[in-house]
Amino acid sequence: MPDVTFRDYAGAMMKGDEPAAITILETLLGLEATRKLDPLRREAPAEPAPAPRPRGSSSTEQLPEPALPSGGRVVEPGRVEGADLRAILEDAKDLKEARAGLSKGTHEPAAPLAGKIVALIFQQPSTRTRVSFEVGIRQLGGESLLISAGDMQLGRGETIADTAKVLSRFVDAIMLRAKNHDDLMELAQHATVPVINGLTNKSHPCQIMADILTLEEHVGPLAEQTIAWVGDGNNVAASFVHAVTKLGGKLRVATPSSLSLNPDLLKWARTNGADITVTTSADVAVAGATCVVTDAWVSMHDADAVNRHNLLKPYQVNAALMKKAAENAVFMHCLPAHRGEEVTSDVMDGPQSVVFDEAENRLHAQKAILLHCFGLT
């Protein structure tokens, strides 16, 4: 029997001594301390967690991970191994296959998230992220708590650090769709439960895991593919950089020079062996590619809509551009799409388009991410 009791745990929490409280709880539950810090690692991290970045500071840091658990510390570049990402993808494939023939509201037989509550925080409107997470959590037997920006004081009146500590007392995991990437990092550093990146201005890892799942279903292993990104070098493009760096494959990025990818991100990727070509020519990027990807020209945080449309007109994905891709190439778009702008309707609705498979796969990829966050695979 342990030498501590739940009364000791409660006392430590009341004193605000969270490290002591976590240690006591782990002792009571028979858990290893390293498991609490990061459910995906079996050993203690080699280095201590970095200090929190000051709010509002400029940052070129990118998350090369698909929304993995923080467990009370920031997840920084290079920490998540490709083997972990591959395991998530394989689990997503198994989860999808296992649902064949089941109604959408049927729980997984094992209900692995039974008794768990996941907070879903949205600072921006969402369709696919919200619905796929809510349905996925329900199918896994858990419960979701939807919180909009207007429902809470994230960074307004109450610090993000305090919000993270409070929410960690009530829920088992947090998904945040944030306007500012630094908000996500600060929340992750101070939370004591897994934090999932549901989208920020710098990355969209949940989307990219669904994209890889879709690509591999239709054309084969990512490591054997050439992906052409055409348009704005935005957060989704950045997450494709993360993907090929960790999992292989070739990435060609065609953007206007003023909307190019972050040079520090590209330096990180190439230093880690990524095969990435950057060009201003859509034709060069798409030639022979097995996957062509684009995104909306104007996002919710962009104020220069007219200028962006003028810059990006040469990057429209249309039938003529798709003919330059490989014969078996697929077209992907994370949606919502603005038909007639970044993509024409004949491509969106054509035989090479897999956009709706891609949208569905958000559900399966995120279920696998949730299971890994809780160490349930």
What is the pLDDT, as a whole number, of residue 116? 98
CA 298 to chain centre: 20
Alpha helices in the chain (DSSP H): 6-14, 18-29, 33-37, 82-98, 128-139, 160-170, 181-190, 205-218, 235-247, 263-271, 282-286, 305-312, 319-322, 345-348, 355-373
Query: Which residues carry out catalysis?
Result: 177, 204, 207, 295, 334, 362
What is the pLDDT, as a whole number, of residue 18? 63
Strand order in the sheet with 173-177: 143-148, 117-122, 173-177, 195-199
What is the token pair recorded at 56?
């509002």
What is the pLDDT, as a whole number, of residue 140? 98
User: Which residues on neighbouring strands pair with residue 177, listed in sequence order?
Assistant: 122, 199
**For 279-300, what is each residue's pLDDT tens digit?**
999 999 999 999 999 999 998 6
- Ranges of residues in the chain with a pLDDT under 70 are 1-80, 153, 155-156, 300-301
What is the pLDDT, as a whole number, of residue 26? 58
What is the pLDDT, as a whole number, of residue 222? 98
What is the pLDDT, as a whole number, of residue 305? 87
Measured from the Cβ of residue 304, the count of other Cβ atoms closer than 10 Å reads 10
What is the pLDDT, as a whole number, of residue 16? 57
For 174-189, the DSSP string reads EEEE-SSHHHHHHHHH
Q: What is the pTM of this model?
A: 0.81
User: Which residues on neighbouring strands pair with residue 154, listed in sequence order?
Assistant: 158
Contact predicate 348/115, CB 8 Å: no
**3-state class (DSSP) for residue 172:** coil
Domains delineated in the chain: 1-37 (no CATH), 55-203+364-373 (3.40.50.1370), 205-358 (3.40.50.1370)
CA 351 to chain centre: 28
Enumerate residues 6+ apart whose C-beta is below 8 A from 107.
138, 139, 140, 141
**For 318-363, what is each residue's pLDDT tens digit?**
999 999 999 999 999 999 999 999 999 999 999 999 999 999 999 9
Handedness of CA 37, 43, 44, 47 (dihedral sign): negative
What is the pLDDT, as a whole number, of residue 124? 87
Which of 112, 87, 96 has the alpha carbon at shortest distance from 364? 96
> At how many degrees (to 10) do helices 181-190 and 160-170 cross?
50
